[in-house]
A and B are shown apart, each in its own frame.
Chain A
Amino acid sequence: MISVESLGKTFRVQKRPPGLLAGVKALFHREYTTVEAARDVSFRIEDGERVGFLGPNGAGKTTTLKMLAGLLQPSAGRATVGGLEPFRRSEAFLASITLVLGQKQQLVWDLPPQETFELNRAIYGVSLADFRKTTAELVELLEIGEQIKRPTRQLSLGERMKCELACALIHRPKYLFLDEPTIGLDVNMQETIRTFIRGYNEQYGATLMLTSHYMADVTALCPRIILIDKGSIAFDGELSELMSKGRTDKRVRFSLSREVPAAELRAVGNLVEHGAAEATFEVQKDAVSALVAHALQVLPVRDLSVTDPPLEEIMRAWFAKEPSAEPAPEPA
């Protein structure tokens, strides 16, 4: 279990305005400011859960993950991962976790990933039989049989990311902290990695905390969402709850048997998207049936579906709220 109680982290950051004069001034007199990257963060994650940890840039996501991985010492509060305190970085703790940072790498740059795999095998004391089995699985699932034999510097970003992920799992950690694991990857590669992560979670009962700016990662992997904004927890609950909380609208998507001009579609309702033979409308929950009934009369409807708005939009709306990130109350 991951248990976090009132966790906080402050950084002392130098203030230096741009410009030559400011640079020279800073030689003699430096000003510092304190940045509160995480404030009173509390949550519990049960073993085997998959949790999306979301927030805008600078919200404190990575800082929190780094505290949970033992890289940063908290300024306040307490955290335990599997009953162990991260910053002590005990051998048992380090053997039970992995942290994948999309923009940092543990693979040795000039050597093939296979060499770093071997290094991790030795460091984590993985038996040769387990190592061979795990590596074979990872290589097959991630399709990196050829890539692990080429120097890391010669791999594309996507290939490198897959190798990083494999390298991070050689010791079969129980807790996975993944920070932007699909950053910069194409859609197919993202899907491969999502499938792989879900499979790993199901096969080994591993606990997953994921941050990603790709909402498709989150919706595909995380039944539970924790939102963090300005260093504090803004929401903690089921993805479905987040999708509906504070939102009174739905999306109704029609497949059409022929193309209909946009002007005609707009006459039906609040058109948000349309293509050659499809149209999507935004509509209040209580007006869905009326819209559908009307559309069936005036449009050549072949099929329809009613969904929540995309997570991206929900997140945008959520974090646009100022000054508080509290959701709007549900209508009575």
Chain B
Amino acid sequence: MSVRSTARSVRAMLRIGFLDAIAYRGETIVWMLSTTMPLVMFLLWSAAADGKPIGRYGAGELHASFLAAFVVRQLGGSWAAWQINMEVRDGTLGMRLLRPVNPIVHYAIEQAAHVPVRAFFSMPVALLFFALDPLIHAPKEPLLLVLFPISVLGAWALSFLMNVIVGALAFFIEQSVKLMDVYTALFFVFSGYMVPLDLFPEPVRVVLDYLPFRYQMGLSVELLTGALSPAVALRLVVQQWVMVALVTLVAHLVFRRGVRHFEAYGG
């Protein structure tokens, strides 16, 4: 597919994705509620701390960390694996393959179009928490604030691409969403979504630097809460984007190989 044909259709694909995302108002709000785990964790960890610090986390750090996790999950999450799995299984993917647009790009734009909708509903909630909680403070280091949106974009890209890889396994196995469930469980534990990453033992933290989970969530949380020095933050963001590049390549290869395997089930 040419870059030209893809570029000229980005706006139209974004528009369709956005309109599709807002087609069901009720469903959107219910779905949003299902992603409020960090707010629940916020309460749980606060109760567990009982006023005493856990590791480096006092009440203020815990509050800031889980509020940031909520924000990053809304802006950096992707759920493409379920869509890809379904389209491969029922053959609808065939209709997508007939169009002169790279299907991964098409999925990416459709998924990206959902982000503003999620932001519209979730950011007021986050801002309200931020305004009402005296223990949460805005980060003071300007570089971290500059790196934050870059890291959220990287988090979204990684999240989407991991979804593509796992979703595309539906070309080879019957139900790739089961694998996505496993991946999501690992993500919950090792990304900083449910447990701040600093609370893991040092050897685990070293391993996590080479896995995608931290870059899908924890890094952006650490930037927003001012938990990193500028030098470390910069290094980690670079590492994140190197990982994005590698995972892009893997996603492309897996999907391309999968399409060769595509049997266009269901007539």
Contact = CB atoms under 8 A, between A and B. Distances in A.
Interface in A49-73: 62, 66, 69-73
B249 interface: no
Interface of A is mostly: mixed
B12 A125 contact: no
Interface residues of A, number: 35
B12 A71 contact: no
Contacts of A280: none
A71 B9 contact: no
21 contacts: A62-B267, A70-B98, A71-B98, A71-B264, A89-B97, A91-B5, A94-B98, A99-B94, A101-B94, A101-B95, A101-B267, A103-B266, A104-B94, A106-B95, A108-B16, A110-B24, A116-B16, A119-B16, A122-B12, A123-B5, A125-B5
A98 interface: yes
B84 to A, nearest CB: 16
Interface string B254-267: 00000010111011
A308 interface: no
B12 A118 contact: yes
A266 B77 CA distance: 76
Given A101-B267, A110-B23, 14 more contacts: A71-B94, A72-B263, A91-B5, A97-B98, A99-B98, A105-B92, A106-B98, A110-B20, A116-B16, A121-B12, A122-B8, A122-B9, A123-B8, A151-B23
A71 B100 contact: no
B99 A123 contact: yes
Given A91-B1, A91-B2, A106-B95, A124 B100 contact: yes
B108 to A, nearest CB: 15
A66 B94 contact: yes
B11 interface: yes
Given A71-B97, A95-B100, A101-B94, A115 B16 contact: yes
Interface of B: 1-2, 5, 8-9, 11-13, 15-16, 19-20, 23-24, 91-92, 94-101, 260, 262-264, 266-267
A256 interface: no
A94 B267 CA distance: 20
A66 B264 contact: yes
B98 A104 contact: no
Contact of A104 (B8, B260, B267): B267
A99 B264 CA distance: 13
Interface string A138-153: 0000000000000100
Contacts of B266: 103-104
Contacts of B24: 110
A104 B95 contact: yes
A120 interface: yes
A295 interface: no
A11 interface: yes
